[in-house]
Amino acid sequence: MIRRVLIVDDDQGLRTVLAAALGDEGFTVGQAGDGLAGLRAFESEGADLMILDILMPEMDGLEVCRRIRRKSTVPIILLSSRGDEVDRVTGLETGADDYVTKPFSTRELVARIRAVERRVTTAVALAVRVEMRTRRS
C-alpha cells in the first residue's frame, strides 16, 4: 500500500499544490527541490512512491530514476513538460512506472498513483501466493 509519496521537483509552487492534494487523499508527503536532494531524501527517509520531475538542477530526474532502480523497485512517476514520444519512451525505459506531461490535473495524478498502487498490490499478492505454494510442496 502506498502511504508515503516523495515529490522531487524544482518548482516550489507545484510541490506545494501536489503535497496539499496528496495530503487530502491520505498520503504522507515528503519533498525535495532538486534531484540530488531527492535521492538523499529517498535514501534517508524512504518512500512508497516517487514523483520525479525530469528537468531539475543538480541531477535530472532520469538520473535519479536510474540510481533508484539500481537499489529499489519503488514505483516512480515521471513529470515533464516534454511530451514527445521519444521523451516518454526514454523515461519509461529508464525505469519509470508512468510518465505524466505538464500541465496535468491533480485528479489525474492521484488516479495514476492509485493505478500504480493496484498493480503493486496485485504483484505482491501473487508473490505471496507463489511463496506459500512453494513452501507447501
Give me the domains of the chain, ranges plus CATH numbers.
4-136 (3.40.50.2300)
* Residue 51 confidence (pLDDT) above 90: yes
Banded pLDDT at 137 (limits 50, 70, 90): low
Which strands form 4-8's sheet, in the order they lie side by side?
Answer: 28-32, 4-8, 49-53, 76-80, 98-101
Rounded average pLDDT over 33-61: 95
Q: In angstroms, rounded to a whole number, what is the distance separating the alpha carbons of residues 85 and 88?
A: 5
**pTM for the full predicted model:** 0.88
Q: List, for residues 72-125, the tens digit of each pLDDT value.
A: 999 999 999 888 999 999 999 999 999 999 999 999 999 999 999 998 877 656
Tell me the average pLDDT of the chain. 91
pLDDT at 121: 78
DSSP codes joined into one string, 25-40: TT-EEEEESSHHHHHH
Banded pLDDT at 131 (limits 50, 70, 90): low
Residue type, 85: E
Rounded average pLDDT over 17-43: 97
> What are the b/e assignments for 20-50, b being 16+ CB within 10 Å?
ebbeeeebebbbbbbbbbbbebbeeeebbbb
Q: In angstroms, rounded to a whole number, what is the distance separating the alpha carbons of residues 59 and 57?
A: 6
What cell numbers appear for 120 in the block?
503493486
pLDDT at 83: 82
Asked whether the beta carbons of 28 and 5 are under 8 A apart, the reply is: yes
